Structure 1
Amino acid sequence: MNLNFIPPVLIEGEKVVELLEEDVARDNAKWVPSIVVYVVGTAPSIGAMERFISEQGSFTIKPIILYHKDGYFIVRFANEGEKDKVLCSGPHYLMRRPVIMKPWVPEFNFKDEILTTIPLWVKLPNLPLNCWNAVVLSTIGSSLGKPLYVDECTSQVNRISFARILVEVYITRPLSKMIKMHDPKGKVLEQQVWYEWKPIFCQKCL
């Protein structure tokens, strides 16, 4: 990889490196089918992580696993479909510890995100059947955090006891146990929220 001199931009007399959309577009596309993986409380070896990922299913190309010294892994898959398959197969545990998985995004920052915003699988028991669609589930999920996915049984309505969605939540705040909903006739419904795993956030050490 050969490099060239590209003069920095001067803004109010200060040198500023200006990154253009076209400069990062190719690498953005390269890393989109990737997830960030963090094992709570410990950092397993690369070999342990490779075995863990291989157990999640079959892949067209062996996923690339990279370790960051801050204690997390980047796992890059051949395509977004394989990435989504692993993301939606949780919750996961490795060495009896919870595994946190997040889609990689260009602005990802480990210390800002992994330790405070975590994707959690949420069950909505006895959800009315006319609410099992992307719009309503997105609306419900948005009251908890940032909705990401529903599992296959929910999208296909193969199981009607509860809907199951993956929501990215801020664990620095109390997790809602109940959601109030108003149906089209104005009736108030109280929807229970069950979390498959609840992280414990320490206000002292963060």
Structure 2
Amino acid sequence: ERLSFHKPKEEDGVCIVEPPDEVFEIGVKMWSNTLVGYFVGKRIPFKVVKKQLEKKWRKWGAVQVVTADNGNFLFKFDNNTSCDQVLRNGPWEVWGAYLALKRWEEGMSLCKDSFTSIPVWVKLANIPSELWTRPGLSYVASALGVPLCMDAATSAGNRLSFARVCVEMKASSSFPNSFKVRRRNGTLSEVMVQYVWKPSVCSVCRVFDHSSKQC
């Protein structure tokens, strides 16, 4: 397919490409229903990833699997609902390797080494019953990081022993096992945290997926 020429700019002797907004919007629309992920601690062959995840996610429609730089994968869906379903029904594994997934965002780097935050599934127990709402759980889960989603049972409220939520946590996090919630009467309740899977974090460069011994 033919391409077209667009004269770049030059600033201080440096060539600068500056596409207009409408060009960016085309790309944003193309990748809007896409998840970006990588397998933590293990490289999985593309054919295996494609075959197994297409099978696991078949119920939510077709998915296009694309390889990116440094072991990253892009999973492109037909609609936003499919993305939500895959995220809410995680975590996912292939060959025993955990698949870290996050939504594609404009401007995000696809270099795995730049992942200083990662989606982590956690179980939160002893949550005050009056906070078993979407806004309430959002406040509670924010003690760990940025809340992304909750599983179907938590959303339906038919299992109050624990809430299972996915939180984007920073590599600098201490990954606490508990935290406190102040109720309206001023008393403090302790919420217990159990990590479905806890990633390794480099204490030197503060990124995921390798230990300090490798840095």
* Fold agreement, TM-score > 0.5: yes
Contact 1:38 1:73 (8 Å CA) reproduced = yes
Match of 2:91 in 1: 91
Worse-matched range after superposition: 103-112 or 24-33: 103-112
User: Counterpart amino acid of 1:3?
Assistant: L
User: Which structure 2 segments of 5+ residues have no match?
Assistant: 204-211
Contact 2:37 2:100 (8 Å CA) reproduced = yes
Contact 2:126 2:190 (8 Å CA) reproduced = no
For residues 60 and 137 of structure 1, do their structure 2 counterparts lie closer, same or farther at Cα, with a shift above 3 Å needed?
Answer: closer
1:2-54 deviations in Å (ceiling 9; x for gaps)? 33333334546654322333221122111111111211222222221122212
When the two chains are superposed, the root-mean-square deviation of aligned CA atoms in Å is 2.1
Match of 1:38 in 2: 38
Confirm whether residue 2 of structure 1 aligns to residue 9 of structure 2: no
Contact 2:60 2:85 (8 Å CA) reproduced = no
For residues 129 and 55 of structure 1, do their structure 2 counterparts lie closer, same or farther at Cα, with a shift above 3 Å needed?
Answer: farther
Q: Distance in 2 between matches of 1:152 and 1:136?
A: 16
Q: Distance in 2 between matches of 1:164 and 1:61?
A: 24
Match of 2:149 in 1: 149
Contact 1:148 1:167 (8 Å CA) reproduced = yes
Contact 1:37 1:72 (8 Å CA) reproduced = yes
What is the TM-score with the length of structure 1 in the denominator? 0.89
Q: Distance in 1 between matches of 2:144 and 2:98?
A: 20
1:113-159 deviations in Å (ceiling 9; x for gaps)? 43x31101111112122111222222222221111001111111011
Q: Distance in 1 between matches of 2:175 and 2:60?
A: 38
Match of 1:193 in 2: 193
> Offset of 1:177 from its aligned partner?
1.6
- Indicate the percent of aligned positions where both proteins have the same amino acid: 30
Q: Distance in 1 between matches of 2:157 and 2:59?
A: 26
Contact 2:71 2:112 (8 Å CA) reproduced = no
Match of 2:172 in 1: 172
Worse-matched range after superposition: 192-201 or 52-61: 52-61
For residues 11 and 150 of structure 1, do their structure 2 counterparts lie closer, same or farther at Cα, with a shift above 3 Å needed?
Answer: same
What is the TM-score with the length of structure 2 in the denominator? 0.85
Contact 1:154 1:163 (8 Å CA) reproduced = yes
Q: Distance in 1 between matches of 2:28 and 2:125?
A: 38
1:178-203 deviations in Å (ceiling 9; x for gaps)? 22211122222221111111112133
Q: Distance in 2 between matches of 1:111 and 1:50?
A: 19
Q: Distance in 1 between matches of 2:161 and 2:60?
A: 34
Task: Report the structure, 1 or 2, having the larger helix content.
Answer: 2
> Offset of 1:165 from its aligned partner?
1.0
